[in-house]
Amino acid sequence: MESKMKVQIRLATLSLLLTGVAHAQMTLTGRYSELRYDYVYGFGGDTHSANVPVTNSALLSQDTESHGYIGSDSGVWASMGWSAAVGIDLQNEYSVEGSLSDFSAIRSSGTIALSASKGGVGGAGIGGRNPGNQQFHYFTVPTATPYDFFGNLTFDPSGGSGFLALQVFDSIVWQNVRFTYSLPGAQGNFSWSGTLAPGSYRLYSEATANFIATNDVPSGSRSASYNSTLHIGTRCTGSIVLQDYVGVPRLVTFQIVQGATTETRTAMVDPNVGTYEIWTNLSGPVTVYAKGSTWLRQARSVANPGLNMANFTLKNGNCNGDSVIDLSDYTIVITAFNAVPVSANWDIRADLNGDGVVDLTDYTIVVTNFNAVED
């Protein structure tokens, strides 16, 4: 007879097999933003200076920081006029796709732009540095996971610099997994892929710039910017047709379902391109659902998520976005019939084909697909 413990182990193994591969959740554990600038401008007793940091470590799913300064002064010294001026704009933002405890992407971007000028004996200098425009995003990876890291870094080499780094903590220091210093000129476009081992990681983004006006170069401006997207998980692609539609790109929501686990992802779909790209932390058999604002949800069974995993053709006519095309949708089109965006009865949900007018074309879409239901 088997012992009670052996039976429990067998049951645990069985339940693992039934639920498939465990869902690996990526957790954003920390965030830090700093916008810092310093300046000196003026002359003699009319000199102005400061070193201003603006920091934020609130952990949110998205945030934007911006800060700026403009200053100028002028005067007369020994019968000669002088002037001095500085200006700076700093902004950064980030967002995670998914939730803080189960994200699939971190997007980070930032800019710095500054200028300084002087006349006569005046002096002016400004910098966004130490660090300038900086962001950290800390996260944990529980199991070996693929990633795609792409973006762009630009700066004026005569007075700016910056970098983007994907780093892992080796229990003593942060080590670079990917680093834009490896790019030609240490800037430009980059697109890297690989696999992250389990561990603690951070995305480190920074841009700096500075300019000091001199007698030789009495005025000037400098700038730097970065933007990056870090996708965690397996990249999944396929074709998607937004039926009966000619308008601008639309957001499609995907749900990737395995047992009790559901991941929600979104992708902008350009009807002229007709493809999608999403990332998942699931492997093994899944059901993938795709749904657009006025398109019915469609389901596809996928043996293993990845490239070319499933193609969708979404049926249009679901004005109210529920699970069926019926009288409610018909009524929305009839109520807005003949409307254009400036009309009193305009309802964007009724312009099913996205051409800017509610007319017979939209009516026909509802009538043709009448009574269709979602997967």
- Chain positions contacting Ca ion, by CB under 5 A: 318, 320, 322, 329, 351, 353, 355, 362
Q: Which is nearer to Ca ion, 203 or 357 (CB)?
A: 357
Minimum separation from the CB atom of position 288 to Ca ion (A): 22
Minimum separation from the CB atom of position 335 to Ca ion (A): 14
Minimum separation from the CB atom of position 56 to Ca ion (A): 42
Amino acid code (one letter) for 44: G
Q: Which is nearer to Ca ion, 201 or 245 (CB)?
A: 245
Asked if 32 and 135 touch (Cβ cutoff 8 Å), the reply is yes
Q: Which is nearer to Ca ion, 266 or 320 (CB)?
A: 320
Asked if 138 and 29 touch (Cβ cutoff 8 Å), the reply is yes
CA-closest candidate to residue 228, choices 366, 93, 339? 93
The whole-angstrom separation of Cα 75 and Cα 350 is 64
Q: Which is nearer to Ca ion, 270 or 355 (CB)?
A: 355
Q: Which is nearer to Ca ion, 205 or 298 (CB)?
A: 298
The whole-angstrom separation of Cα 38 and Cα 368 is 65
Asked if 180 and 153 touch (Cβ cutoff 8 Å), the reply is yes
Minimum separation from the CB atom of position 313 to Ca ion (A): 18
Q: Which is nearer to Ca ion, 277 or 322 (CB)?
A: 322
Minimum separation from the CB atom of position 325 to Ca ion (A): 5
Do you find a cis peptide bond into 341, omega within 30 degrees of 0? no
Parallel, antiparallel or unpaired: strands 199-213 and 123-141: antiparallel
Minimum separation from the CB atom of position 242 to Ca ion (A): 13
Parallel, antiparallel or unpaired: strands 234-242 and 312-314: parallel
The whole-angstrom separation of Cα 267 and Cα 121 is 56
Contacts of 295 by beta carbon, 8 Å cutoff, 6+ apart: 242, 243, 252, 314, 315, 316, 318
Strand order in the sheet with 123-141: 48-56, 27-42, 123-141, 199-213, 160-169, 174-179
Minimum separation from the CB atom of position 269 to Ca ion (A): 18
Q: Which is nearer to Ca ion, 269 or 325 (CB)?
A: 325
